[in-house]
Amino acid sequence: MIGSEPAEGGPAPVSHRPEEEGSRVASTPSHPARPTGPTEGPGQATAQRGFVLLVLAGALWGTGGPAAAVLQSEHGLTSMSAAVYRLLIAGVVITLVLFLMGRLRRMVWSRPLVGRLALNGVLHALFQLLYFGSLALIPVGLATLVKIGSVPVFITIGVCLLARRRPTVTLMIPVALAVVGLALLAGFPSTDAPPAQLAAGLACALGAGLAFSVMGLANRRPVEGLDALTNAGLGMLLGSLLLLPAGLSFGMAVPVEAQALGLLLFLGLIPTVLAYLAYFMGLRTASDAGVAVGTIAEPLTAALLSAALLGEQTTALGMAGAVILVASMGAEPVIRRVELRRTARDSP
C-alpha cells in the first residue's frame, strides 16, 4: 500500500498496540448526546396507533345513524330490526371469511376464548336491547346523550377500579370535556314523560352505556388465540342470534329494493364490521384516556352527516359542543406528550 513502508534510514513507525488504543478510548470521557426533547418510544407510538383506531371506530359508527334513519323513515324498518340485521350481516360475513381462510379449523377452543366470545355476544345483545328500550320510553336525543355520555364516565371508573387508584387529572380532563361537549351537542333534550317512565328510560340508557363500557374494558386484555377479527365476528354473530327473537317480534320484513338492500349491506359492513374491527384492535394498545374518549367521534360524525345529508339544523350550542368534543379527543395525545416530557425530566 502507498505510505505503508517507512522511508530508508528514517525513524521507525510508531506502533499502536490494541491495548494502548483500548486504554486511550477508555480514558476518553464519554459525553452521550442529551435529548433535546421527549422522544416517543415504541410504547408511545403503539398507544398513538391505538387511539387513532378508536377514533376511526367512532367515526365509522357515526355513519350508521343516518343510514338507519333512512331505513326507518323511507323503508319502514324498525330500529330493533336494523340492529339485528347489522349484527347478523357482520357476524355472517366475518365468519364466512374466517371459514374460507381456514382459521376456524385451526382455532384452539380454550375456556378463556369461549368465555370472551360468550361475554361479547351477551354484551352486544344487551347493549342493543337496553338502548332501543330507552328509545321507546324517552326521546331519542336524551337516550343518545345518556348512553354515549355515560361511556367515558364508566370507562374512567372501571379503569381506576381495576388499577386500584384514584383518577388522575390527565384522565379527568378529556373525560370532562367529552361529557360537556356531548351535552351541548345534544342540546339538553326535554321530555314530558311521567317520572316512572323517565326513570326507566334513563336506566335503560345508562345500562346500554354500561354494557358498552364493560365490553371495552374486558377486551383491553387479549386472549391467547383470539385475534380482533375472530373476536368481532363471532361475538356479533352470537349477539345477533340472541337478539333475533326480539327482532322477529318487531318485524324484520325488508323491501326488495336496491336502496334498502344497499343500506342494510352498508350498515352491516362499514359501521359494524370495520368499526368493531378497529375498536377491538385499538383497545389493546390505547391509553386509559384514549379508551375513555376515543369513540366520542361517533356523535360528532353522526351530527355532521345528518346536517349534510338529512338537512338537520345544528344550533350554536351544538357547534360549541362539537368544538369541545374535538378538543376532548385532541387533549389525549397532548396530555400523553406532557406526561412523557415530565417522565423524561424526572428520570436520572
pLDDT for res 298:
86
pLDDT for res 267:
93
Amino acid at 299: P
pLDDT for res 98:
95
pTM above 0.85, yes or no: no
Q: Which three cell numbers stand for residue 6?
A: 517507512
Residues 134/237/213/283 CA torsion (nearest 10 deg): -150
pLDDT for res 149:
87
pLDDT for res 199:
92
pLDDT for res 304:
83
Contact call for residues 138 and 198 (beta carbons, < 8 A):
yes
pLDDT by 10s per residue, the chain, length 348: 444 333 334 444 444 444 444 444 444 444 444 344 334 445 677 888 999 999 999 999 988 888 888 888 899 888 889 899 999 999 999 999 999 999 999 999 999 999 999 999 999 999 999 998 888 888 877 888 888 889 999 999 999 999 898 888 778 888 999 989 888 887 766 677 888 999 999 999 999 999 999 999 999 999 999 999 999 999 999 999 999 999 999 888 888 999 999 999 999 999 999 999 999 999 989 988 889 898 888 888 888 887 787 777 777 888 898 899 889 888 878 877 776 777 667 665
Buried residues in 140-156 as b, exposed as e (16+ CB within 10 A): eebbbbbbbbbbbbbbb
pLDDT for res 348:
59
The 3-state secondary structure of 269-307 reads HHHHHHHHHHHHHHHCCCCHHHHHHHHHHHHHHHHHHHH
pLDDT for res 276:
94
Distance between CA atoms of residues 219 and 119, nearest Å: 10
pLDDT for res 3:
42
